[in-house]
Amino acid sequence: MSNEKLAKLTKYAPKVKIKKLKAYEYIQKNEELIKLYKIPVQLDNEITLQNTKAYITAFQNKNEIDLIYSAINANPYIGEVLDFTSLNKVIELEILDKINEMPHFYSPELILIPIFDEKLNHEFIYDYLRTNLKWEKNLWKNEIGKMQNPISLYGHYFYHFTDFRYINHQDHLYYYYLNETGRIYLFDDTKKEFILNYALYDQKQYKSDLDINILIEIVEKLINEDEDLIDYLHDHQMITDKTYKKLMK
């Protein structure tokens, strides 16, 4: 029952304005990369917006890997002191050394480019020279053809490449939060799709950044369907007295 009451809060919540979200601006700033790699752009809602951001960030990681190679290859003597296998190893170590500077996750394979499968991700990291040769010989178009939707490919892991904040999960259901919208998003990892979202604020009480501990408690109450969830929002000044009374009717 408490979750049903929370669902009604959407009626009194701030409207999501797509063009005001940071991800929208991020997409606009990366138009050249979008055209180069023929990235599918969807601006229908905040979820498709975040998925588009994941595509872009994936290719930015790919470009970062290329820059690591270019910096190493800039040494005119590199070919004299390192053979193919040794140079591959140096590139691998440099990539792994800078891993914390790039969005990534383990599935369990290390994934830096989540629009490609685990095999191709592995090749970009551990067999870069051979993989890069394919791209340089214009076979990159074939590789682009292998591009897949990050959500369809990796399910809940995709959030690492977005603005979503992971809060908790229960079995195959994952709970994320988006600061800019003040909403919790429920992701079904079996279906690999978002199935629900809950507003946590009404129009007058919205704040752009919510403490993680409060978010954790709210999600726990959602999972357990606690009857005091609406009271909790009210007590934490996330909804007004007027909204509280409407939800409790």
Per-residue pLDDT, 142 = 65
Report yes or no: 181 and 16 within 8 Å, Cβ to Cβ. yes
CA torsion through residues 36, 39, 53, 46, sign: positive
> What is the Cα–Cα distance from 164 to 34, expressed in whole angstroms?
21
Mean pLDDT, range 2-6, rounded to an integer: 80
Mean pLDDT, range 70-88, rounded to an integer: 86
Tell me which residue range forms the domain holding 241: 2-15+181-247
Q: List pLDDT tens digits, range 92-130.
A: 999 999 999 999 999 999 999 999 999 989 999 999 998
> What is the Cα–Cα distance from 2 to 231, expressed in whole angstroms?
10
The answer to the question of residue 174 being in a domain is no
Same domain, 47 and 69: yes
Report yes or no: 150 and 54 within 8 Å, Cβ to Cβ. yes
Same domain, 132 and 195: no
Same domain, 7 and 116: no
The answer to the question of residue 163 being in a domain is no
Per-residue pLDDT, 2 = 60
Task: Copy the structure tokens of residue 8.
Answer: 């009604």
Mean pLDDT, range 3-10, rounded to an integer: 88
Flag whether pLDDT at 180 surpasses 70.
yes
Mean pLDDT, range 241-247, rounded to an integer: 94
Mean pLDDT, range 146-159, rounded to an integer: 93
Number of domains composing the chain: 2
